Amino acid sequence: MIGGGFALAAVFVAALNLRAGISSVGPVLGDLLAWYDASGALAGLVTAMPGMFFAVMGLAAVPIASRLGLSRTLLLGMTMTLTGLALRPWTGSVGLFLLLTALVVAGIALSNVLLPAWIKLHGGKNVVALMTVNGAVLGLSGGLGPLSAALADGPGGWRDALFVWAWLALAQVLVWAVVALRTRYDFPSHSAVGEDGRAPTGSLWRAASALALMFYFGLQSMQAYVQMGWLPQILIDAGVDVAVAALALSLTAVFGVAGGLIMPTVVQRSRWLPGWPLLFGVVTVAGYVGLLLIPDTMPLLWAGLLGLGGWAFPTALNLIVVKARHPLVAARLSGFVQPYGYIIAAAGPLLVGLAYRPENPHTWTAIITVLIVLAALKGVVGMKAAQPGRVDDELGRSSTGA
């Protein structure tokens, strides 16, 4: 059994590891490329990796968890993350660096997909509180990551900036080893008793709200990973100081913390949810317009608007829980929305890396214009995802042919 206090601690330390190992790369990306004498294409690959491996491992997460249990699968992913974070800064091979980065993000991907399902299964009356902790601390993790760039002193200093997060990953593994021992095999069955009843078995591809939520999650994650990997470079190329550029990225994450604290309750209590995704789409567009027209004038304002637009992410995470009535549907929905959403997300930073030309900063004009269009689309799709109703009911209708 997992008590409320220990569940809170377990979710806290898990969420604290969900972004720092990724967001710490952006501010030292230039040093890393210089160290390995690599091109901008490699930068695109590194920044696209989170989305790519979140997709691959996300698709595998629920099948693995059905064999091992949610807690044991989460522990497996956390161990993978620890291994990658501890080893990748010290490799002399760019190929091995990429392989270990893949291990980091693959491990994080399991937590991304399975943690909401774990909360739905073990949270009891504390589901909203645990989802609040998950969303807020996830945002904090993204904000802390860039700050480790201060450790990157001199050639090779980027190694210290990346390695420091291995200690946090170690703490996570220790806590979740206890969780796994206490819960043993924990995966919800179709016939779970209680108010949830029997889980419907229809295809999520035939559930309109599940599809909308997947696209909403994917478009928001694409925006987030482009910002995480490229926002500092956009500002630096516009003449903004490196320290201010790193601060701007951290600011987007600080807003993410606030969104994680606020949006779980808003999603639970709001009388008209579709208005929120629309608002976040508009705000994101405003942030990109600022970056396009006057990036060096008020860079922190534009970063703040992008951070506020990023409240779409905790909204999407909480919609996964709210739109599912049965714990197994929550697990299936999370294993559908996040992996396929991250396939969409992976395309963004990869294409930015291919389009970016360091010798021609004006390439940012075309890139940011596309991001504006995608931000508007995010708001429209999000409105559909937030419409009233449960995915369980749509699955029930599709399984009966109704």
**DSSP assigned state of 92:** S
b/e map of 392-401 (b: 16 or more CB within 10 Å)? bebbbebeee
Rounded to whole angstroms, the Cα distance separating 131 from 314 reads 9
**What pTM, to 2 d.p., does this model score?**
0.75
Q: Say how many residues make up the chain.
A: 402
Rounded to whole angstroms, the Cα distance separating 268 from 266 reads 5
Per residue in 175-221, pLDDT tens?
999 999 988 788 776 544 444 456 676 788 988 999 999 999 999 98
- Amino acid in the structure at residue 344: I
- Amino acid in the structure at residue 21: G
Q: Is 113's pLDDT higher than 60?
A: yes
pLDDT value, residue 165: 93
Contact at 8 Å (CB) between 181 and 288? no
Give residue for tokens 């890139």. Answer: 367
Rounded to whole angstroms, the Cα distance separating 85 from 162 reads 7
DSSP for 316-329 reads: HHHHHHHT-SSHHH
pLDDT band at 393 (very low <50, low <70, confident <90, very high): confident
Into which CATH architecture does domain 4-188+202-397 fall?
Up-down Bundle (1.20)
Q: Which of 396, 401, 402 is nearest to 200 (CA)?
A: 396
Sign of the dihedral through C-alpha 79, 168, 56, 274: positive
Q: Is 399's pLDDT higher than 80?
A: no
Residues 6+ apart with CB under 8 A from 63: none
